[in-house]
Amino acid sequence: MKPTLRAQRSNPGQTPKQWHGLLCRSALKHFPDLIKAGKVLAFACLVGLAPLPAVAVQPDEILNDPKLEARARALSAELRCMVCQNESIDDSSADLARDLRLLVRERLKAGDSDSQIRSFLTARYGDFILLKPPFKPETWLLWMAPLLVLLTGSGLIFFARRRLSQRASEVSAPSLSEDERSRLEALVGKEEGQ
């Protein structure tokens, strides 16, 4: 029967180097099991912490007609919650989002088209209610701001580098006069002669 690590460690004649070798061999022997356990733990964390779809539509809001419900969900996904501001009303659990979801479903039951419902809500709340605002004169700055920032930054970098290169060429070493040049050659000649 082979003694355990603890029993082997308690052997007073064993050196620390021998104990280290036993420990390393034992760890390497169980290494594949540790890898498997780590993979299982990582998978469990990913599954447990994975974001679940945040759908706030309550069962009492769902329409009986599947086609109308699909249209209502598509419209709700395009409309911004005015409370949460970066969530659609389909994902938000705010009271105002619930009221807007119910309003969309009522308008669908009344026979309004998707564009009529969007127009109604835009007239009531403005273009801000749309998660993707339309490209029109009032929203040009919103759509063009990233491009303007990129062009402005590129222009600033270009002109700054240009100015630095001009300054570097202006600050170059001044040329030597004839007197200075002859003194320099005399000094260099003395050092080479030594």
Q: Do 162 and 156 contact (CB within 8 A), yes or no?
A: no
Show me where the domains of the chain are located: 5-49, 59-129, 135-168
Report pLDDT digits (tens) over 157-171.
Answer: 999 999 888 877 766
- In angstroms, how far is CA 125 from the centroid of its own chain? 30
Give the integer Cα–Cα distance in Å for 27 and 145: 58
| Predicted local confidence at residue 161, as pLDDT | 92
The percent of the chain in helix, strand and coil, each rounded to the nearest 5, is 70, 0, 30
| Predicted local confidence at residue 119, as pLDDT | 92
Give the integer Cα–Cα distance in Å for 122 and 104: 12
CATH of domain 59-129: 1.10.8.640
Residue 188 pLDDT more than 80? Answer: yes
pTM > 0.75:
no
In 3D space, the residue among 105, 51, 41 whose CA is nearest the CA of residue 75 turns out to be 105
Average pLDDT, the chain: 78
Helix-then-strand count for the chain, H and E: 7, 0
Kindly give, in sequence order, each residue whose CB lies less than 8 Å from that of residue 106, ignoring residues fewer than 6 positions away. Answer: none
Report pLDDT digits (tens) over 52-71.
Answer: 444 566 666 777 788 888 89
Report pLDDT digits (tens) over 125-160.
Answer: 888 888 888 888 877 887 888 999 999 999 999 999
Task: Tell me the angle at which helices 66-78 and 114-125 cross, rounded to the nearest 10 degrees.
Answer: 40
Q: Do 80 and 87 contact (CB within 8 A), yes or no?
A: yes
Comparison of pLDDT for 66 and 37, the residue scoring more: 66
Res. 35 pLDDT band, cuts 50 70 90: confident
| 35-42 average pLDDT score | 74
111: β partners = none
